[in-house]
Chain A
Amino acid sequence: MIDFPEISWASIAPQTVILITALTVLAIDLLPRKIERINITLTALLGVVIALIFARNLTPAYETDFSGMIYRDGVSIYLDQLLLAGTALILLMSHRYAQFHPIAYGEYTVLLLFASLGMMTISISADLITLFIGVELLSLSLYVMSGMDKSSLSSGEASVKYFLLGAFSTGFLVYGMALLFGACRTSNLVLIGSAILDGGAGTPLLILGFALVLVGLGFKISLVPFHMWAPDVYQGAPTPVTAWIAAGSKIAGFAALLRIFSLPGISFEPFGGYWAQAIWWLSMLTMIIGNAGALVQNDIKRMLAYSSIAHGGYLSMAFTANNTVGLQALLFYLAAYLFMTLGAFAVVIAVRRNGRECLSIPDLAGLARQHPGVAGLMAVFLFSLAGMPFTAGFVGKLWLFGAAIQEKYYLLAAVGILTTLLSFYYYLRIIVFMYMHEPQKDAVFDAVPASGRIAAGLAAAGVLALGVYPNLLWKVLAAHTNGL
Chain B
Amino acid sequence: MLLTLITFIPLFGALVILAAPKSYIESVKWTALAASAASLALCIPLMIVFPYGEPGFHLAPRLISWIPALGIDYRIGVDGLSLILVVLTALLSSLSILASFSGIQTHQKEFYFFMLILETGMLGTFVALDMFLFFLFWELMLVPMYFIIGVWGGRQRIYASIKFFLYTAFGSALMLLVIFYLYFQAADAMGGVMSFNIENFITLELDPSKQYWLFFAFILAFLIKMPVFPLHTWLPYAHTEAPTAGSVILAGVLLKTGVYGFLRFAVPIFPAAAVAFTPWLMLLALIGIVYGAMLAMVQHDVKRLVAYSSVSHMGLLLAGILSWNAQGLQGGIIQMINHGLSTGALFLIVGMVYERRHTREIDQFGGLAKVMPVYAAFFMIFMLSSIGLPGLNGFVGELLVLIGLMRVSLVWTCIAATGVVLGAAYMLWLYQRMMFGPIKLEANQILRDITRREILVLLPLALLCFAIGFYPAPLQATIEPPVQNIIQAVQPYLPDASPWYELPEIQVDQSGAAGLE
Contact = CB atoms under 8 A, between A and B. Distances in A.
Interface of A: 328, 368, 372, 383, 388-390, 395, 398-399, 401-402, 405-406, 410, 413-414, 417-418, 420-421, 424-425, 428, 432, 435-436, 470-471, 474, 478
Given A471-B68, A471-B69, A435 B173 contact: no
A425 B174 CA distance: 17
Q: Which of A383, A406, A432, A474 has the most CB of B within 10 A?
A: A432
Given A432-B161, A474-B68, 16 more contacts: A368-B110, A388-B143, A389-B135, A389-B140, A401-B180, A402-B183, A410-B181, A413-B180, A417-B173, A417-B177, A421-B170, A424-B166, A432-B150, A435-B151, A436-B158, A436-B161
Contact of B184 (A328, A383, A405): A405
B69 A414 contact: no
Nearest to A386: B169
Nearest to A475: B69
B169 A474 contact: no
B291 interface: no
A399 to B, nearest CB: 8
A383 B173 contact: no
Interface of B: 66-70, 107, 110, 135-136, 139-140, 142-143, 146-147, 150-151, 157-158, 161-162, 165-166, 169-170, 173-174, 176-177, 180-181, 183-184
Contact of B70 (A402, A410, A414, A435): A402
Contacts of A428: 146, 162, 165
A406 B184 contact: yes
A425 B162 CA distance: 8
B385 to A, nearest CB: 35
Helix, strand, loop or mixed for chain B's interface?
Answer: helix
A424 B173 CA distance: 12
A405 B185 CA distance: 11
Nearest to B137: A389
Contact of A436 (B67, B151, B176, B181): B151
B143 A436 contact: no
A424 B70 CA distance: 25
A471 B151 CA distance: 35
30 contacts: A328-B69, A368-B110, A388-B142, A388-B143, A398-B176, A406-B184, A413-B177, A413-B180, A414-B177, A417-B176, A417-B177, A420-B173, A421-B166, A424-B165, A428-B162, A428-B165, A432-B150, A432-B158, A432-B161, A432-B162, A435-B150, A435-B151, A436-B150, A436-B157, A436-B161, A470-B67, A470-B69, A471-B68, A474-B67, A474-B69
A164 to B, nearest CB: 40
Contacts of A478: 69
Contact of A405 (B67, B139, B140, B181): B181
A423 to B, nearest CB: 10
A309 B170 CA distance: 22
A478 B69 CA distance: 9
A421 B166 CA distance: 7
A398 B173 CA distance: 11
Contacts of B135: 389
A405 B180 contact: yes
Contacts of B183: 402
Contacts, number: 72
Contacts of B173: 417-418, 420-421
B147 A435 contact: yes
A418 B220 CA distance: 14
A478 B67 CA distance: 13
Nearest to A369: B107
A248 B184 CA distance: 34
Contacts of B143: 383, 388
A331 to B, nearest CB: 13
Contacts of A388: 139, 142-143
Given A428-B165, A432-B158, A389 B136 contact: yes
The 10 closest A-B pairs by CB, nearest first: A389-B139, A417-B173, A389-B136, A436-B150, A474-B69, A405-B180, A421-B173, A435-B151, A436-B158, A424-B169
Contacts of A425: 162, 166
Nearest to B152: A436
A417 B70 CA distance: 19
Contacts of B180: 401-402, 405, 413
Contacts of A414: 177
A421 B172 CA distance: 10
Contacts of A421: 166, 169-170, 173
A471 B67 contact: yes
A479 to B, nearest CB: 12
Nearest to A437: B158
Q: Which of A395, A401, A406, A436 has the most CB of B within 10 A?
A: A436
A390 B69 contact: no
Nearest to A418: B173
B396 to A, nearest CB: 37
Nearest to B113: A376
Contacts of B142: 388
Contacts of B177: 401, 405, 413-414, 417
Contact of A372 (B110, B136, B166, B170): B110
A154 to B, nearest CB: 31
Contacts of A389: 135-136, 139-140
A436 B106 CA distance: 12
B423 to A, nearest CB: 35
Q: Which of B69, B150, B157, B165 has the most CB of A within 10 A?
A: B69
Contacts of A402: 70, 180, 183
Contacts of A417: 173-174, 176-177
Contacts of A424: 165-166, 169
B404 to A, nearest CB: 36
Contact of B136 (A390, A413, A418): A390
A445 B176 CA distance: 40
A424 B184 CA distance: 27
Contacts of A383: 143
A379 B143 CA distance: 11
Contacts of B66: 471
Q: Which of B135, B173, B174 has the most CB of A within 10 A?
A: B173
Contacts of B162: 425, 428, 432
A424 B180 CA distance: 21
Nearest to B109: A372
